[in-house]
Amino acid sequence: MSTYDQLHRQCRTLENLFYSKLTSYSQLVSTISRHSDDVEASGSSERWMDMEHELDDLLEKLEETNEQLAALANEPDAVSASMLRTINHHAEIFQDNARELRRTKASVKSALDHANLLHGVRNDIEAYRSSAADSLLAERGRIDSSHSMTDVMIEQAYETRAEFGRQRTALAGINTRMKSVLSMDTIPGINNLVSMIKSRRRRDTVIVGVVIGVCIIIIISFMWR
């Protein structure tokens, strides 16, 4: 009786503890599904593994206890009919717990894989957005640089045009001064000198004309002889 009672109490304690741990383990599925961050970084993976190891240990102890109860049931003189029904009930609970643990493990693993997949997709999207943003910023930088170069060239063109204007004004001033210097009214005696030159040109023209006329007359007179 003492052996049976001890095993029975131990089995009940393990079953209650297993049920409590399994409930917490099952709640991890919904926690992982709602988690938006990386499962590895958030620590969900470690908690999942720790709780899974604890449940595996509890299930192993339950199996050992049930095996001891089953060995006790093989001794008809050691147990009564009610004890035998209790032993069989513990065995059924053990089988149910084992099936529930396998099912919950699969659910947790599926939730972890799904969360990691979503996080990977989110990282890829963020990386693509970051790359696209970097490309746009680089393109904008090139456009701004091109605009700056264009502004410099336009500024140089305006400066060149202003310089041409200044040179044109300077040349116009020089031309005006040259005309003023070369003006006959500004040089003393220039009119007399020009008049003398003109008179000499007329005289030379008259002389040349007379000489040509005389030559023509001489030629004609020789021809008539």
Please write the tens of the pLDDT for every residue from 144-196.
777 777 777 787 777 787 777 788 787 777 767 666 655 545 555 666 776 77
Q: Is the pLDDT of residue 95 over 90?
A: yes
CB atoms inside a 10 Å sphere around CB 101: 20
- The highest-confidence range among 11-20, 76-85, 112-121, 154-163, by mean pLDDT, is 11-20
Span 16-74, pLDDT tens digits: 999 999 998 888 777 776 654 544 545 556 777 888 899 999 999 999 999 999 888 88
Q: Is the pLDDT of residue 11 over 70?
A: yes
Query: Comparing 135 with 142, which gets the higher pLDDT?
Result: 142
Instruction: Tell me how many degrees the CA angle 125-130-133 measures, rounded to the nearest 5.
Output: 125
Nearest in space to 69 (alpha carbons), one of 19, 107, 123, 15: 15
- Report the predicted TM-score, pTM, of the whole model to 2 decimal places: 0.47
Please give the average per-residue pLDDT across 7-22, as a whole number: 93
Q: Which amino acid is at 162?
A: A
Q: What pLDDT is attached to residue 97?
A: 94
Q: What pLDDT is attached to residue 41?
A: 47
Which pair of structure tokens corresponds to residue 33?
Answer: 């599904």
Query: Comparing 123 with 156, which gets the higher pLDDT?
Result: 156
Q: What distances in angstroms separate CA 107 from CA 29, 112, 158, 213, one per listed residue?
A: 7, 9, 75, 138
Task: For residue 137, name the pLDDT band (cuts at 50, 70, 90).
Answer: confident
Span 189-219, pLDDT tens digits: 666 776 777 778 888 788 888 888 888 888 8
Residue 73's contacts (CB-CB under 8 Å, 6 or more residues apart) are 79, 83, 84, 87, 88
